[in-house]
Amino acid sequence: MKNYKNILFDLDGTLINPKEGITNSVKYALEYFGIKVKTTEELYKFIGPPLRESFSQYYRFNEKDTEMAITKYREYFKEKGVFQNVLYKGVPELLNKLVSENKNLIIATSKAEVFAKQILDNLDISKYFSFICGSTLDGTRSKKGEVIQYILSSTNLNPEDSVMIGDKSHDIIGAKQTKLDSIGVLYGYGNYTELQNAGATYIVKNITELQAQLLAN
């Protein structure tokens, strides 16, 4: 195990459980189109990937309808969904421990950056991160690889000293595209097969295992 200096964290499904905020926002957007979902669980697939990709893929929306769906999603999210997030147990302790060990922590999320910053502030964990990077509202930076590349170009991090942590294949693929090692976590919304097939460098079951990996020498 490398002694990584820079640790990039995904947000949804890795540090926070965003289930309520995201699924309620998607329901609100779909209702605009007269679409009703049978169960909340069928919307879990929206947790992680960029919204444009998800609305297009899962509901076959054209470009115009996709943009409208995102507009309606954000209409709900900025008023209510942004407050409907819960920290995973042990996350504040993990972040505090990593910072005490002089690790440089960064957020790399496909969530809109403005919302990511608000959520981190609401949950009182912004203080642990030296850099917070998310997607742009106009969609010009939404895929995880694009987010990580922006971080690398903005901070001059050495990819060899850095690792990306996330719960979905998008996180692992983005890390590979930018030549970073990756750690897949199984307590979020992905699964072992997904993370393994994407090429995760390591896979951990829980926060305790994650901390052990990150502080191993």
Q: Residue 66 and residue 182: Cα distance in Å, rounded?
A: 31
Residues 119 and 159 in one domain: yes
Regarding pTM above 0.75, the answer is yes
User: Is-catalytic flag, 10?
Assistant: yes
Q: Which residues constitute the domain of residue 24? A: 19-83
At 26, list the tokens: 């998607």
Residues 190 and 117 in one domain: yes
Residues 57 and 144 in one domain: no
**pLDDT tens, position by position, for the chain (217 residues)?**
689 999 999 999 999 999 999 999 999 999 999 999 999 999 999 998 889 999 999 999 999 999 999 999 999 999 999 999 999 999 999 999 999 999 999 999 999 999 999 999 999 999 999 999 999 998 889 899 999 999 999 998 999 999 999 999 999 999 999 999 999 999 999 999 999 999 999 999 999 999 999 998 6
Q: Which residues pair with 87 in a beta bridge?
A: 16
Q: Residue 17 and residue 22: Cα distance in Å, rounded?
A: 10
SS (HEC) of 38-54: CCHHHHHHHCCCCHHHH
Whether 1 is covered by a domain: the verdict is no
Domain count within the chain: 2
Residue with tokens 């996709």, as numbered in its chain: 66
Residues 76 and 153 in one domain: no
Q: Which of 10, 12, 167, 181 is catalytic?
A: 10
**Cβ(133)–Cβ(147) below 8 Å:** yes
Q: Residue 81 and residue 192: Cα distance in Å, rounded?
A: 28
Residues 184 and 127 in one domain: yes
